[in-house]
Amino acid sequence: MQGFANLMWLLSLALIVFSGFALLDAAIRREDAYRAADKKTKPFWLIILGIAFVVNLLFPILSFLPIIGLIATIVYMVDVRPALRQITGGGGGRRGSSSDGPYGPYNGGR
């Protein structure tokens, strides 16, 4: 039983870190990027992810509330965050030149 308790503790810690990262990421994004990406507003996502973070801190992983918070966090991470990164240009750190196409530099057939 001790091994199972340790596994559940690690899983709970992972959920807290995951929801905390999503909350911090949502907090540093610009408000206008949410509107430009046609997603809910920044305060909406901050409230949802904040509640998910607090629920993960307070409730054990076997209850249904952390699972609902996990679903909200996953939705943010796989749907909202990539759309915001595309709007704000926050991908990869590599800035291409004006002649770069979607698959690399365009040299005009040279």
Residue 99 has pLDDT above 60, yes or no: no
pTM (predicted TM-score):
0.75
Q: For position 104, what pLDDT does the model report?
A: 62
Residue 31 has pLDDT above 70, yes or no: yes
Q: Per-residue DSSP letters for 13-76?
A: HHHHHHHHHHHHHHHHS-HHHHHHTT---HHHHHHHHHHHHHHHHHS-TTSHHHHHHHHHHHHI
15: its two tokens: 């959920």
74: its two tokens: 């996953």
Note the pLDDT tens digit of each residue in 49-87: 999 999 999 987 778 888 999 999 999 999 999 999 998
Q: Smallest Cα–Cα separation from 19: which of 43, 51, 44?
A: 51
The answer to whether the CB of 50 falls within 8 A of the CB of 66 is no
Residue 26 has pLDDT above 80, yes or no: yes
Higher pLDDT: 103 or 9? It is 9
Higher pLDDT: 106 or 14? It is 14
Burial call 38-74: b when 16+ CB within 10 Å, e when fewer? ebeebeebeebbebbbebbeeeebeeebbeebbebbe
Give the chain's mean pLDDT.
85
Question: What is the rounded distance in angstroms from the CA atom of residue 27 to the CA atom of residue 49?
Answer: 10
Q: For position 25, what pLDDT does the model report?
A: 96
